[in-house]
Amino acid sequence: MKKYDLIVIGGGAGGLTAAAGGANFGAKVALIDKASFGGDCLWTGCVPTKSLIQSAKIVQTAKKASHLFDLEVRGVPNFKAARDRLNESIATIQKHDDDQRFIDMGIDVYHGSATFKNENEIKINGETTIKGKRIVIATGSRPMIPPIDGIKETGYLTNETALQLDKQPESLLVVGGGPIGLEFAQSFTRFGTKVTVVEMGATILGKEDSDLVPYVIDSLKSEGVQFITGAKVVKTALTSAVKEVTIEQNDQQFVLKFDEILLASGRVPNSDKLELENTDIKTNRGYITVNKKLQTSVPHIYAIGDVNGYYPFTHKAGYEGKLVVSNAVFGLKRNADYTNLPWVTYTDPELFHLGLTEEEARKSGKKIKVYKTPLDDVDRFVSDHETKGLIKIIADEKGVILGAHAVGPGAGDFMQEVVFAKQFGHKIGSISNVIHPYPTHVGGVQRTADLYWREKLASSSIMNVLKNYVKWFR
């Protein structure tokens, strides 16, 4: 039986980071995945969906150009071409995660299903057994299939299968108004599909700042997406190749017909096939319970990424992969800290989120200041004729950044300066003092930070002293 300092189960962002980090520091590492490395992000998540979003944006830009500049655009967008483009993206990026790269690092690579024989031994495909001093579980998650009557018989799409369609459906029901559902809804709409989104909550994107969500809703509605909120799908049936969907809203039921149904109402952790019953590892609804050091209830076993239930983002898994190397390989006791974890919803306009929303900040009991800049006050957005959006920074009385949010074209990029400032303790006023090129989109961030000094000086007694000094100096 082969013995290792570190066994990593799962070849996604977190697992690959942990395995590579351990090997780089001299640990003997085994890396196990049932398929090719890269995880959900590469094969069915971040990479292909962003490629699809970009293809849909090109189509939308062509339509927009035809109206603005008297161009003639004919024909129907070829969805298969978009599928081929995203597959090209996957193939290119996958080269960075192929087996040989990790073999060259000295890592032993195994492909197959991993199960726990006991708390130190892992079986691969029920045959090979290896032993690890430390073990990292990084098995990710998969789409949740809600308990809708008839859904299996009717058939459905998920983010995994929707990406490999040869042709876009004429009509599509998206079940779930979160980031995944909305990104697909807008993309398919731009390719000509008639899309309806059903969301159980009172509004879509319920975890986002309420000032910004309306911009996303208005944009999607203007492109033809229809929303049914405060509602749920209770039943589906297949009739003459059309899918009849029974929707319940306000205690009333009605039936709509669609060509396809896309389920985007959540994720479930991939922990059910690990045979955790052979260990003392505790779970909650399938998510592996971990402490702040990412240890499970069995101290030498760690869980990172989607499988531990904290924030289902690739960049969060990568962060945890680095942290677990410190703790599992070096024996340090570093805590995971998600205070400065940003995320982006890649609709058009993009929606950026960092830290507390205004609602959360007010509930915290802290005295806060809120600084807002609409994009029509930012020269670069004006010159681009892309003025629908908002930048919002929330700070305490001393200017410490508590949260930052933005909605607009490229918000996920132009707000990165605020991520740096918040993480390293720079106050909002520091951003104002940075020299930014003109005109750029990030100028909107500086303009928002300028509001801090404007307010501070206007409300300060020192202003009267300065005014008197200026009068004397003149």
pLDDT digits (tens, 9 = 90+) for 266-279: 999 999 999 999 99
pLDDT grade for 471, boundaries at 50, 70 and 90: confident
Q: Which two tokens stand for residue 43?
A: 């094969």
Contact assessment for residue 49 and residue 184, using Cβ atoms and an 8 Å cutoff:
yes
pLDDT grade for 35, boundaries at 50, 70 and 90: confident
Instruction: Show the domains of the chain with their CATH numbers.
Output: 2-143+268-329 (3.50.50.60), 151-266 (3.50.50.60), 349-458 (3.30.390.30)
pLDDT grade for 457, boundaries at 50, 70 and 90: confident
Write down the pLDDT at residue 347.
98
Residue 352 pLDDT more than 70?
Answer: yes
Of 144, 49, 149, the closest CA to residue 90 belongs to: 49
Q: Which two tokens stand for residue 44?
A: 């069915």
Number of C-alpha atoms within 13 angstroms, CB side, residue 1? 13
Query: How confident is the model over 47-83, as pLDDT tens digits?
Result: 999 999 999 999 999 999 998 999 988 888 999 999 9
pLDDT grade for 432, boundaries at 50, 70 and 90: very high
Contact assessment for residue 29 and residue 107, using Cβ atoms and an 8 Å cutoff:
yes
How big is the chain, counted in residues? 474
